[in-house]
Structure 1
Amino acid sequence: MVVTMLSDATGVPEPVLRLLLSILTAYPVALFYHIAFLRPMKTKWAPFIRNLYVVVTGLSISYFFNGSDIKHSLITTIVTWFICYFGDLIGNRELACAVSFIFNFSYLLVGYYVTSTDEYDVDWTMPHCVLCLRMIGFSMDFMDGAKFLKSSAPEKKTIDNKKIDPPVTQANLKAPKQPISFEKNVQLPTLPPLIETIGYAYFFGSFMIGPQFSFHLYRKLITMSLYADVNNIPAGSYKCALKSFFIGALYLGIQQIGVAYFPMSYLLTKEYNAEPLFVRLVSMWFAGKFAFTKYLGIWTLAEGSCILSGISFNGYDDNGNPEWNGLANVDMMKFEFSTSLNQIVGAFNTNTNLWTKIYIFKRLIFLGNKNLSSIGALLFLALWHGLHPGYYFCFFLEFVDIETEKRCVKRLEPYTKQLYDPMNKSNSIMILRRLHKVACWFGQTCGLHYAMVSFELLKWNRVIPAYNSVYWIGHIVVFSLLLADIILPRKRVKKIEDKNNTKLALNEKTKVISDYVNGTKIKEQ
Structure 2
Amino acid sequence: MTFTDTLSEQTGIPESSLRLLFTIIFAYPIAVIYRIFLLRPIASKYAASIRQWYILITGLSLSYFYNRHDIIHSLITTTVTWIFCYIGDKIGSRSLGTAAVFIFNMVYLLLGYIYMSTDEYDVNWTMTQCVLCLRMIGFAMDYMDGAKLINKKASTETAQREKTTPNDQPVSTTRLAKQPKLPISFQKNIALPTLPSYISTIAYAHFFTAFLTGPQFSYHLYQTFINMRSYPDPSRIPRGSYKHAFQCIAGGAIYLLVSQIGQMFFPQYVLVSEEFAKWDTLHRFVYFWMVGKFAFSKYLGVWKLVEGSCALLGISFNGFDDNGQPEWNGLANVESLRFEFATSLNDIISSFNINTNLWAKIYVFKRLIFLNSKTISSLGVLFFLALWHGLHTGYFMCFFLEFVDMEAEKRWSKRVEFIKKSLYEKKMKNGISGKLAWGAYRVVCWFLQTCALHYAMVAFDLLRYEWCITAWRNVYFAGHFVVFGLIFLDLVLPKGRSAGPRKVEGKQQEETALLKDTMEKAKTNGISNGVNAEYSVHHKKE
Answer whether TM exceeds 0.5 for this pair. Answer: yes
One-letter code of the match for 1:425?
Answer: N
SS in 1 for 2:185: helix
Instruction: Check whether the contact 2:215–2:333 (CA below 8 A) recurs between aligned residues.
Output: yes
**1:132-143 map, 5 Å:** 132-143=133-144
Give the distance between the partners of 2:440 and 2:498, measured in 1 at CA. 27
Alignment of 1:72-471 (within 5 A): 72-151=73-152, 152=155, 154=159, 165-177=168-180, 179-421=183-425, 423-471=428-476
Cα displacement string for residues 171-227 of structure 1 (whole angstroms, at most 9, x for unaligned residues): 212434163100111110111111111111000001000011000000111100111
Is the Cα–Cα contact under 8 Å of residues 168 and 227 in structure 1 kept in the other structure? yes
Aligned counterparts of 2:432 and 2:192: Cα–Cα separation in 1: 56
Deviations 1:7-53 (A, max 9, x none): 01111101111100111111111111111100111111111111111
- Give the distance between the partners of 1:494 and 1:86, measured in 2 at CA: 60
1:105–1:339 distance in 2 versus 1, CA, 3 Å:
same
Deviation of the 1:512 alpha carbon:
2.7
Give the match's secondary structure for 1:165.
Answer: coil
The 8 Å contact of residues 177 and 319 in structure 2, kept in 1 or not, is answered as no
Could you tell me how far 1:427 is from its partner in structure 2? 2.5
Does the Cα contact within 8 Å between 1:316 and 1:323 map onto a contact in 2?
yes
What residue identity is the alignment partner of 2:28?
Y
CA contact (8 A) 2:85 2:98 kept: yes
1:482 aligns with 2:484: no
Asked if the contact 2:289–2:455 (Cα under 8 Å) also holds between the matched residues in 1, the reply is yes
Deviates more, 1:424-433 or 1:479-488: 424-433
The whole-number CA distance in structure 1 between the counterparts of 2:347 and 2:454 is: 15
Residues 181 and 213 in structure 1, CA contact (< 8 A), matched pair in contact too: yes
Partner amino acid, structure 1, of 2:21: L
TM-score by length of 1: 0.93
State the secondary structure of the residue aligned to 2:233: coil
Q: Residue 182 of structure 1 aligns to a residue in which SS?
A: coil
User: Structure 1 residues 320 and 444 mapped into 2: Cα distance closer, same or farther (>3 Å)?
Assistant: same
Quote the Cα distance in structure 2 between the aligned partners of 1:67 and 1:282: 42
The yes-or-no answer on 1:12 pairing with 2:13 is: yes
1:418 and 1:35 mapped to 2: Cα distance? 55
What does residue 27 of structure 1 align with? Answer: 28
Distance 1:388 1:177 in 2: 37
Matched with 1:161 is none
Label 1:170 to 1:510 Cα distance change in 2 as closer, same or farther (>3 A).
farther
TM-aligned CA distance change 1:290 to 1:495, over 3 Å = closer
**SS of residue matched to 1:511:** helix
Gaps (5+ residues) in structure 1? 158-163
Relative to structure 1, is the Cα distance of residues 71 and 139 closer, same or farther in structure 2, using a 3 angstrom cutoff? same
Q: Is 1:200–1:218's contact at 8 Å kept on the other side of the alignment?
A: yes
Offset at 1:91?
1.3
* Contact persistence 2:177–2:324 (CA under 8 A): no
Are the equivalent residues in 2 in contact too, given 1:168–1:315 (CA < 8 A)?
Answer: no
SS at match of 2:150: helix
- The one-letter amino acid of 2:419's match is Y
Alignment RMSD: 2.3
Aligned to 2:514: 512
Between 146-155 and 77-86, the greater mean CA deviation after superposition = 146-155
Q: Is the 8 A contact 2:179 2:319 kept in 1?
A: no
> Matches of 1:413 and 1:134 in 2, distance apart?
39
Deviation at 1:509, TM superposition (A): 11
**Separation in structure 2 between the aligned mates of residue 416 and residue 380 of structure 1, nearest angstrom:** 35
- Tell whether the 8 Å contact from 2:332 to 2:354 is kept in structure 1 after alignment: yes
Letter of the 2:475 counterpart: V
Structure 2 unmatched ranges of 5 or more = 525-542
Q: Deviations over 1:473-505 (max 9, x none)?
A: 011101000100011011223679xxx989x9x
2:62 corresponds to: 61
Is the 2:271–2:288 Cα contact (8 Å) retained in structure 1?
yes
Contact kept, 8 Å, 1:330 with 1:347, in 2: the verdict is: yes
d(CA) in 2 for partners of 1:212 and 1:520?
23
- Give the letter aligned to residue 136 of structure 2: M
- Matched-pair contact (CA < 8 Å) for 1:169–1:315: no
Report how many aligned residue pairs link the two structures.
510
Q: 1:154 to 1:343 in 2, by over 3 A?
A: same
Using a 3 Å threshold, how does the CA distance of structure 1 residues 232 and 176 change in structure 2: closer, same or farther? closer
Query: How big is the shift at 1:339?
Result: 0.1
Q: Match for 2:270: what amino acid?
A: Y
Alignment-mate amino acid for residue 325 of structure 1: N
Q: Tell me whether 143-152 or 455-464 shows the greater mean CA deviation.
A: 143-152
Distance 1:436 1:510 in 2: 18
Maintained 8 Å contact 2:131/2:212: yes
Q: Which has the higher contact order (CA 8 A, sep 6+)?
A: 2
Taking the aligned partners of 2:341 and 2:14, their CA distance within structure 1 comes to: 33
- Aligned partners of 2:372 and 2:305: how far apart in 1? 40
Under a length normalisation based on structure 2, what TM-score does the superposition of the two structures give? Answer: 0.90
What is the aligned partner in structure 2 of residue 44 from structure 1? Answer: 45
* 3-state secondary structure, aligned to 1:5: helix
2:492 is aligned with 1:492: no
**Identity of matched residues, %:** 54
Deviation for aligned residue 1:101: 0.6
Alpha-carbon spacing, 1:7–1:342, altered in 2? closer, same or farther (3 Å) = same
Question: Cα offset for 1:520?
Answer: 5.1
**Cα distance in structure 1, aligned partners of 2:231 and 2:280:** 59
Contact 1:109 1:386 in 2 (8 A): yes
1:394·1:454 contact (CA, 8 Å) conserved in 2?
A: yes
Q: Distance in 1 between matches of 2:383 and 2:370?
A: 17
Task: Tell me how far apart the structure 2 counterparts of residues 519 and 405 of structure 1 sit (CA, whole Å).
Answer: 14
**Partner AA of 1:332 in structure 2:** S
CA offset digits 1:367-420 (Å, max 9, x no partner): 111111110111111000000000000000010001100101001112321111
